[in-house]
Amino acid sequence: MTFPASQIALIINGKIEGDAGAVVTSFGKIEEAQKGQLSFLANPKYEEYLYSTQASVIIINDIFELKRPVSATLIRVPDAYTAFATLLAKYQEIMEQQLSGIQQPSYIAKTVSYGENVYIGAFAYIGENVKIGNHSKIFPNAFIGDGVTIGNNSIIHPGVKIYHDCKVGNQVIIHAGTVVGSDGFGFAPQADGSFKKVPQIGNVVIEDNVEIGANTTIDRATIGSTLIKSGAKLDNLIQVAHNVEIGHSTVMAAQSGVSGSTKIGNGAMIGGQVGIVGHIQIGDGAKINAQSGVSKSVEPGKAVTGSPAYEYTAALRSQAISRKLPELEKRIKELEALVKQLVNEKV
């Protein structure tokens, strides 16, 4: 597809400096971009490439001051990174609009209902009484179990498995290999040392504008719902256990795990490889540093780190002190020697 700078500026409400008729057909990183590509500059560390890149059009921040002339057409916006993301989303939307209809072979139960402009890829399985909203896309090899509801404009990527009775909202993206609604880890210990499985009869509810990365697992509730609230963003390779709640616009990085019945508030930020025990509360706006082990509730707005995790600034002070331990040990030995010398002189 071909886009002139004038059209790009219109989409992102930008101001053009240079040739408004400059045309791009693809995207490129500023350090590698070639003629006919669109790039952006948001990080000052890459400023040097602005003057050497072959990109035809570059999006930059309003406040950026040029140190020397550039050959590319510039489009100035308040936030270059956000503007570039808007363009990528628009491009992806255009590409996905080309997908529609039902490919064969696929299995779609007679009781399935779906809206306008739905795409169902080859080898997909759509079970009984499934409801799919307008403009949603179900890619090849996806499994949609009985009684599942999927809202409008949602995208279910290849190989996703959504078990029975789960609910997916509008504008939800679920990436390849993710499993939604598998059984929670519920086993009752028995007197003979064995474990009896506790049936998991709840479901998973994913609200609007949620994005879930590849190969993430979200377990269904024992009773009730495991809940992912609107605007939450989950990375790849995350485990969400039964009856967990993740709040609005909370973000969680890869390889993190949340144990059963824990409630995470709105706007929390959870780093990679974080482990969170069950039955605790993570408050609104809390921040958990990567590789932390959270064993107790975190107050709203608090930042924690470490394993077991504790208050972030206190942890930094402890780390600073621990680095000085060899020096402190040396000073203590010197003081001990001085005290011993003074005692001997008195004697």
Q: What is the residue type of 35?
A: K
Cα separation, 261 vs 162, whole angstroms: 21
Position 310 scores a pLDDT of: 66
Position 347 scores a pLDDT of: 63
Architecture of domain 101-313: 3 Solenoid (2.160)
Query: Which residue positions in the chain have pLDDT lower than 50?
Result: none
Position 223 scores a pLDDT of: 96
Position 93 scores a pLDDT of: 78
The 10 Å Cβ neighbour count of residue 26 is 13
Token pair listed for 9: 């500026």
Q: Quick check: do 3-97 and 101-313 share a fold? A: no
Hey, which residues are catalytic here?
Answer: 242
User: 79, 37, 43, 74: which is closest to 59 by C-alpha?
Assistant: 74
Give per-residue pLDDT as tens, 275-319.
999 999 999 999 999 999 999 999 999 999 988 886 877 777 777
Where are the domains positioned within the chain? 3-97, 101-313, 314-346
Q: According to the CATH classification, is domain 3-97 in 2.60.120.10? A: no
Cα separation, 286 vs 259, whole angstroms: 17
Task: Write down the pTM of the prediction.
Answer: 0.81
Position 328 scores a pLDDT of: 85
Kindly list the distances between the CA atom of residue 285 and the CA atoms of 84, 120, 124, 228, 279, in Å, as whole numbers in the listed order: 27, 38, 39, 16, 19
